[in-house]
Each structure stands twice: as C-alpha cells, then as structure tokens.
A and B are shown apart, each in its own frame.
Chain A
Amino acid sequence: MSDDCQAATKRPAVPVRIKANRRKFIRSAFLVGGVVGLSMLGYLPVANARKQRMRPPGALEEHDFLSSCIKCGQCVQVCPVAAIKLDDIDRGFGIGVPYIDSREQACDFSCDAVQCILACPTGALTYVKPAFAELRAGMTLAHAPVLKAKEKDAEPTLNLKERTGVARLSRPEACLAVQGKGFKGQARGAAFKGRMRYMEVDRWKPIAVRDHPYERDICDLCVTECPIKDAIKLEETVGSDGVKRYRPVVLEQCVGCGVCEMICPVEPTAIVVDERKAWSA
C-alpha cells in the first residue's frame, strides 16, 4: 500500500492517464468490433433468403441490384399503383431495397413508361443493361412487349427488354378454368385494396379491383387482365368424352409482372410468378 503511494508520488498523474487511455483504447476496440459485428449480421438474411424477392422491372441481377441500390425509394414514389415497397432491417443488406408483393399489389404497367426505371438514380433499375451485367439465357424477351393498353398508340410497346420472372400455374387443380367453372363478383373480395388500370374506366387513374366486379362463364381473369399481349392464353381442348376443357397457358412474352397472381380469385392463388426466373420452353 505504502509502496503504491510512494510510486504515485514519484511519478504523479502519468500512470493514471496511461491506465485511462488503455481503458479507453480497449473500450474503443470493443465498440469497433461490436458495431462491425452487428453490421455483418446483415449477411444472414441475405444468405438465408430461400425465396427471392420480386424486384421492380428493369432490375439488375440480385447481387448487382443489392450493391447498386442506394435505398432512396424514388421508385416507390413514382409508382401509380404503389406496387413497390421497401424492405426492412430483417432483410439484412436488403434494408431499404424495393420489392413487389404481386399478390398484394402487382405492377400492371399503368404508368406506360416504366416510371420506376426512369426514377432510379443509380441504374439499379435500368432500361438497357450495362455491358458488365450478366444476362441469363431466357431473361431477354423475344421481342418488345406490346402493352395491351397502348395497342392503338403509334408506339404500342413497353420499354422493357428483360423479364422479372415468369408466371406459372402452380395449383392447376384449384384453377376455376381447369375445373370448368366461371366467376362472378369482386375478384379478390371486398377487403382487397389492390388497384389496377382499366382502360375502359380511365387510362390514367387506376381504380380498386373491388370496384370492378367481373362476370365470366369460364374464369379467364388471368388472361384478360394480363397487361401484355400474347403473354398468356386460355387453351381449349376437347376431351375424348366431348367435354371442353380449359387451362391458362403462359407464353414466352410473359414479363413476370404478376397481375395474374394478383387477380386470381382462388385462395390461395392458383397462378404465381416465379421471381427472377428465366423462360424455358
């Protein structure tokens, strides 16, 4: 004890300061380790993502998309049907990155110009893929997609060169057309908030799907409501018993917009869009 006191009087203040500095340094090291460690937790959701997110039209491939997106949400702001949402921190590095939940609100191209691509400041959404961006076979559309809504315009095509996914009849047994059934009423019930553009109602003002009831002898909503020409058709076959059978068939011009998934009146949906999937015949 007395030795300590003597030592302290011989070398005043210095050891205390050194000790304090050492503590401060260790504290700082923990801070750096802690914060960096926490930020790297962002890897987990990205690495664990079993089901990919549906990205807005014109998106780069997932890794490039995540690296180039600046998380500003300008794409969210321009979408007339509010199809685009931003991910939360539970998606790790995907925080603030836009996605589309087609079943809730699909992109129906009611903006005509693919506004989200136009709004993107970093080229994460782009009309023309840059040279470095890999394009998987089957991602590029055979020819420019014709937007049914613009069919009578001088330029009927949509400025979109690649698909975001492909639709697939995932539960044919539940499909009303396959069962030979019709459909009458609000496609997704009275509580559904999703909106769509109906050309016969207003070209520039999308309305709620529930405000636009349907009446079909054979349900063909996925076919008629598809905004793209020649992307899906209702195939009619006559069986050996002479009974007509129907089945929606997805064609190569499908861009993966997800309107069929949104409009399908069956719960859960009979047709889905496989995100980022390429076309294979």
Chain B
Amino acid sequence: MGAFERIKVMFGASPAKATEFTPEARQIHELKRMNKADFLAEKQHAREHQLISHKWRNRRWAVLLFSNLLFTFSFWLDIQLLEGALTASRFAGFHLIDLNSALQVMLAHQHIIVNLFIGTATVFVLWAALGGRSFCSWICPYHLVAEWFEWIHLKLVDKKLITDHEFHRGSRTVFWLLFSLMALLSGYTVFETISPTGILSRALIYGPSLALGWVFLLLVFEVLYSRRAWCRYVCPIGLTYGMVGAISPLRIQYRLENCFHEGDCRKVCLVPHVLDVVIKGRAADKHMAIGPDCTRCGLCVDVCPSGALRYDVKGLSKLL
C-alpha cells in the first residue's frame, strides 16, 4: 500500500489487498506457510516470553495529563507559562493555535488575522513533524476520557450485554466538509459548539459547564452503541490533524518477519483499518509504514508480543 493508498483509507476507503509483493515479503510469506509447525512453536515461544507492558500507554497518559493540567495550573497559580485553552494558547508568550479551530475561525470570519496565522504555522510544523493525529492520542482530553469509557464498552460487549455498531468511516470526511461548509455559510464556528475537545479543555481550566452534559451523552452513546464513535466517525479535528501528518516522518512501523498474525493489535486499535497489513498474507513489503489515520498511541506497540510494531522515524533508522 503506497502513501496515496493510505491517505485514501484515512478518508474512508476500505484498505485494498496488495497485488504486488517485494521478493523479500514474498519469501517471508512463503516461509510462514511452509514451516507451520515451526511457526506455531515460535508463536508459542513468543507468547510465553511476552512481557505485559503498558509503557507507551503510561507515557502517553502522562504527557496528556501533564499538558492539559499545565493549562489549568498556569491559570490557577498565575504562572503564565501556558495561557489559554487547547483551541488557542500562548506557550511562554508564543502563539499556539489549534489547526481545526483556526480553520473554523478562518472560514467563519473570512479575514486573515496575523496572530492566528503565526500560531497556526507553528502548530502545523510541530504536528507535521510529530505525526499529525498524535495530537488525538497524546493531547486531546476527550481521547483519554473516551479511552476509559471504551473499557466499559468492551466489558459489556464481552458479557454479550450489548453489540458494537460500526458506521461508515467516510462519515468523518462528510462531517469535515459539512462543518467547513456550515462555518463558511453561517459565519459561526458551528463545530466549536459541540466539540468535546474544546468543551473539556475549557472545563478543565475555567471550571465545569453545562456543556459537559453533552460530552457525557457522547460517552454514553459510545459505551452503549458504538465503540469510540466520536473519534472514529465524527471528529473533524482528527481528520485535520490526519491530513497535516499525512507524510509525517514519525509513524508506527510494521515488521513482517516478527509478526505471527494473531491480531491483538487490531483489537486494541482505535483505527484498526490502518493495521490491515498485519493480516496474514497482506503485507507487500518486509517493513511497512502504518497510515496517517494512525494516532501513534502505541497500544499496538505495547500489546504485540513479538515486537512487530514499533515507533519509527523515517530516515532516522537508516541514518543510525
């Protein structure tokens, strides 16, 4: 799957099966088929020696909580290090502006604002380098809360009390277009009204609001009806950052030779379509980059018993 294919998947296309394989990839696929007994034995071995780790999850939660609470304490203690909220802020005096909020304001307001432009450019470069949707899993407060509620959802599904309902992933692209269009036509930043990211960020800094009721309803919907529905099928912030990080050097890399195709990674993933390549016989190359819809959350890295998925910086591994 090329970079272009992966971007198409982000917008909602189903991942296509590879038709051409590199000789190395073909060889590994063949070997896995031929030595089935060995393959199973090795798989067993990897399982037995697996270290249950939450390394990346813990790091991520720490970063997420730290950055969000830095806003809070900056205001409460009046240390003025990080002023504002996630939508727009100043870090040590330097403008930082959330890309989707900036887009909404620019479309609604239809005038160029210099500060907005500076803040947006900084954040654009930052997230283009750091992986785009890594904003979602490493910064967005709704992501964290939704992650906790997802655990309840999975428990209920496990007990067969509820079933998960999937939506078409293309809905998010439709939402992105509609919210842009609504901002442009109405002159209001319509999406900001219902954005749980903005609502939670402001609630953390300026105190609780009625709007938290809406966030709670979203969480109930996700628990009872559809797993991680907001992040997967609705949130235009995710798509904006996904586009920004479309060709980001920081991504998760898949190593075919280490993979036993057990699919644990796909079970924990927020966006399992990006892990289509881990299905047996799908990977077209020995090493493959995971697509831009990946939030770089690292759950798959933690869960993989054989180190087939890891963080990678394009070019850096070659350099070292």
Known interface pairs A28-B167, A73-B206. Does A122 touch B89 (Cβ–Cβ under 8 Å)?
A: no
Chain A 85-128 near chain B by CB (<8 Å), digits 1 or 0 = 01011101101100000000000000000000001011100000
A39 to B175, CA, bound (A): 11
A104 to B175, CA, bound (A): 40
A14 to B251, CA, bound (A): 36
Sample of 20 more A-B contacts, CB < 8 Å, known A78-B83, A95-B211: A27-B165, A31-B229, A32-B175, A39-B179, A42-B193, A67-B187, A67-B188, A68-B108, A68-B111, A69-B105, A70-B87, A71-B101, A72-B84, A72-B85, A77-B84, A89-B213, A95-B192, A121-B84, A121-B88, A122-B116
Interface check B58, CB cutoff 8 A: no
Residue in contact with B194 in the complex, picked from A27, A35, A46, A130, CB distance below 8 Å: A35
Residues of A within 8 A of B178 (CB): 32, 36
B83 CB to closest chain A CB, in angstroms? 5
Known interface pairs A24-B168, A93-B189. Does A71 touch B85 (Cβ–Cβ under 8 Å)?
A: yes
B193–A74 CB distance below 8 A: no
Residue in contact with B209 in the complex, picked from A67, A72, A89, CB distance below 8 Å: A89
Known interface pairs A72-B84, A74-B88. Does A24 touch B167 (Cβ–Cβ under 8 Å)?
A: yes
Interface check B191, CB cutoff 8 A: yes
A73 CB to closest chain B CB, in angstroms? 5
B190–A77 CB distance below 8 A: no
Residues of B within 8 A of A214 (CB): none
A73 to B203, CA, bound (A): 11
Interface check B25, CB cutoff 8 A: no
A25–B234 CB distance below 8 A: no
8 of the cross-chain contacts (CB-CB < 8 Å) are A31-B234, A63-B187, A66-B189, A70-B105, A71-B87, A73-B206, A96-B87, A123-B111
Instruction: Classify the secondary structure of A's interface with B.
Output: helix
Chain A residues numbered 15-72 whose CB sits less than 8 Å from any CB in chain B:
24-25, 27-28, 31-32, 35-36, 38-40, 42-43, 46, 63-64, 66-72
A77–B75 CB distance below 8 A: yes
Interface check A250, CB cutoff 8 A: no
B105–A66 CB distance below 8 A: no
Known interface pairs A28-B171, A68-B111, A71-B87. Does A88 touch B105 (Cβ–Cβ under 8 Å)?
A: no
Identify the closest chain B residue to A133 (Cβ): B111
Residues of chain A having any CB pair with chain B under 8 Å = 24-25, 27-28, 31-32, 35-36, 38-40, 42-43, 46, 63-64, 66-74, 76-78, 86, 88-90, 92-93, 95-96, 119, 121-123, 130, 132
Residues of A within 8 A of B165 (CB): 27
Residues of B within 8 A of A36 (CB): 175, 178, 182
Known interface pairs A68-B113, A73-B206. Does A89 touch B199 (Cβ–Cβ under 8 Å)?
A: yes
Chain B 112-139 near chain A by CB (<8 Å), digits 1 or 0 = 0111100100000000000000000000
Residues of A within 8 A of B98 (CB): 70
Residues of A within 8 A of B199 (CB): 89, 95-96
A121–B115 CB distance below 8 A: yes
Interface check B97, CB cutoff 8 A: yes
Known interface pairs A71-B101, A74-B89, A121-B119. Does A93 touch B188 (Cβ–Cβ under 8 Å)?
A: yes
B210–A88 CB distance below 8 A: yes
B139 CB to closest chain A CB, in angstroms? 15
A89–B211 CB distance below 8 A: yes
Interface check B109, CB cutoff 8 A: yes
A23 CB to closest chain B CB, in angstroms? 9
Interface check B214, CB cutoff 8 A: yes
Interface check B233, CB cutoff 8 A: yes
6 shortest interchain CB distances as A-B pairs = A72-B88, A89-B211, A67-B108, A42-B193, A93-B188, A28-B168
B189 CB to closest chain A CB, in angstroms? 7
A56 CB to closest chain B CB, in angstroms? 15
Residues of A within 8 A of B115 (CB): 121-123
Identify the closest chain A residue to B207 (Cβ): A86
B211–A32 CB distance below 8 A: no
Residues of A within 8 A of B213 (CB): 89
Identify the closest chain A residue to B88 (Cβ): A72
Identify the closest chain A residue to B75 (Cβ): A77
Known interface pairs A31-B171, A71-B202, A132-B111. Does A92 touch B88 (Cβ–Cβ under 8 Å)?
A: no
Known interface pairs A27-B167, A77-B84, A89-B209. Does A95 touch B102 (Cβ–Cβ under 8 Å)?
A: no
Known interface pairs A73-B85, A96-B202, A122-B88. Does A42 touch B190 (Cβ–Cβ under 8 Å)?
A: yes
